[in-house]
């Protein structure tokens, strides 16, 4: 069983690349954003709480996200691997994921980090809002908060995973095809 993390700022192209990776390698894509949006669309209590936090640009509590991830891994033991997207976002989540994967007899094989300058993050998120109609992608102050949260809470994971020797960086400001080719080069190693 393979476990990969697709990492990068909001709007870096993780969702686009994840679709192609899943199609080629038959991994299960675990996007915390998608899981939370499903809960919000269903109007569950978790969904209502998540909507409130996401609409402010804040993160959903760790125990909620970790529970969703654990359930998906436990109920999908017959797949070739997992591609995490949007998780982990903090050192505490990374440590929880390491412990969780150990219980399942695995470890993070590689962190695939898409890099992108902040100004391009703004442009891509605003463009995505027009295409997908995502309300959380239309307000500049919310986008600024998401970028600040990424720098403050999520970027420390770079050092964490570099320390584990499994961090790989890919320039996200390239064509979709070139980014995918770079990702495949890592996945095929």
Q: Which structural domains are found in the chain, ordered by start?
A: 2-187 (3.40.50.300)
168 tagged catalytic: no
Inter-residue contact 75 to 133 (CB < 8 Å): no
pLDDT for 184 equals: 98
Cα of first residue to Cα of last residue in the chain, in angstroms, is: 15
11 assigned binding-site residue: yes
pLDDT for 21 equals: 97
Name residue 4's beta-bridge partners.
83, 110
128 tagged catalytic: yes
89 tagged catalytic: yes
Inter-residue contact 97 to 87 (CB < 8 Å): yes
pLDDT for 139 equals: 78
pLDDT for 68 equals: 81
Residue with tokens 């403050």: 152
CA angle, 137 then 67 then 85, to 5° = 40
Q: What pTM, to 2 d.p., does this model score?
A: 0.83
Helix extents (H) in 104-155: 118-132, 140-149
2, 14, 56, 140: the active-site residue? 14
SS3 83: strand
State both tokens at 114: 């898409």
pLDDT for 34 equals: 82
- How large is the angle between the packed helices 45-56 and 62-74, nearest 10 degrees? 130
37 assigned binding-site residue: yes
State both tokens at 6: 């697709």
2, 70, 72, 89: the active-site residue? 89
56, 70, 72, 134: the active-site residue? 134
Q: What is the pLDDT along the chain (189 residues), one digit of tens a residue?
A: 999 999 999 889 998 999 999 999 999 999 887 888 887 888 877 778 888 887 887 777 888 788 888 888 998 999 999 999 989 988 999 999 999 999 999 999 999 999 999 889 888 888 887 788 777 677 788 888 888 988 898 899 999 999 999 999 999 999 999 999 999 999 998
Inter-residue contact 12 to 115 (CB < 8 Å): yes
134 assigned binding-site residue: yes
87 assigned binding-site residue: yes
124 tagged catalytic: no
77 assigned binding-site residue: no
77 tagged catalytic: no
């Amino acid at each position: 069983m393979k476990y990969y993390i697709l990492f990068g700022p909001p709007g870096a192209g993780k969702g686009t690349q994840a679709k192609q990776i899943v199609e080629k390698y038959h991994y299960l894509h675990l996007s915390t954003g998608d899981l939370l949006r499903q809960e919000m669309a269903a109007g569950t209590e978790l969904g209502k709480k998540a909507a409130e936090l996401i609409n402010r640009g804040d993160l959903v509590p760790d125990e909620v996200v970790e529970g969703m991830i654990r359930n998906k891994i436990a109920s999908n033991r017959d797949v070739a691997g997992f591609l995490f997207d949007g998780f982990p976002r903090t050192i505490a989540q990374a440590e929880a994921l390491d412990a969780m994967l150990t219980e399942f007899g695995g470890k993070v094989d590689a962190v695939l980090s898409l890099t992108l300058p902040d100004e391009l993050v703004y442009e891509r998120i605003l463009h995505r809002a027009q295409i997908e109609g995502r309300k959380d992608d239309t307000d500049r102050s919310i986008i600024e908060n998401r970028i600040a949260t990424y720098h403050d809470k999520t970027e420390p994971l770079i050092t964490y995973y570099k320390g584990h020797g499994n961090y790989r960086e890919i320039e996200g400001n390239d064509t979709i095809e070139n980014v995918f080719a770079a990702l495949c080069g890592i996945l095929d190693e």
